[in-house]
A and B are shown apart, each in its own frame.
Chain A
């Protein structure tokens, strides 16, 4: 169980190194993520979705509030210690490395160099080809390929809490459904608490609990059906002026 209490995060002016500015990106959020549930967090661009996810992983440090994992206060733990405590994070824009291969990353995540075990993980993940294993995770990979590897490394950790930030970015339409099924299977078989940040209809439909975040606050949590009026509210989207009326934008707008 993951609990966030009165979590606050201000915009930081990294350019001037002036520290926190007046605007709260995450504005006093309290919420309990129950063990083994599948959560989808959605909301307009700039509403705080990714910031929230990064606060849980420790990539962003909260300005105030607490984060508890199974009752233990992890607010001040480093990224490394949170990873070791069982939290995993799949990045929206995964890092690219020169020389480091997919095998290297999976080997680090799974803490094994055993060929058989690494192949078992790739087989279990399903959406990654065995050909990926010895590919360098560099700029030669397509956006879709690197996202699949990113997802594979997250699953290879066997995390207690798995956070996926926009997992469908760059993924072809045909891979999204297998990806959703994979996350659901991990949830069912390993009791993984799954938190997906997404606008994608299929992830929203797959979630046990949908959370809508707007201006740094959770404005809704519950089932998808009850959320439809809110999701249909075009004010949720910053790009409404651009895409209104667009056929099949693949989101609830």
Chain B
């Protein structure tokens, strides 16, 4: 199924409506149209990392600098970034607003995504990272804004899971 052009736009507009102009990301298929918008928007600073754990450090620097920041990654990238999440963000009380593409879940046709998809929620629970599912394009802007607010008040990582319902047409 193709990535949803309209819903990618809704997510990007939600990020901007939340007052966020700084994004770190590692490109993946569902995030492609979103990242294209971020790259083309002169108001938005996008840093593309080589591996997702770098983005935890970049988000920390942005937080210290007082700049609202958002992380975009696939769930497998989140799994690769866990030490940074635990031993930097959670250890020092650094807020992280993470938008995570939930691959390998209901309807997943690709075998290589499935193991990561099956464990993602349990890993988030084990790490006490609050999370919600984004399924409805009409609600996603509110959810991004709420995720950001909660990350800042709790000084904690917070995850909004971008689902197939939202990201594919």
A associates with B: no
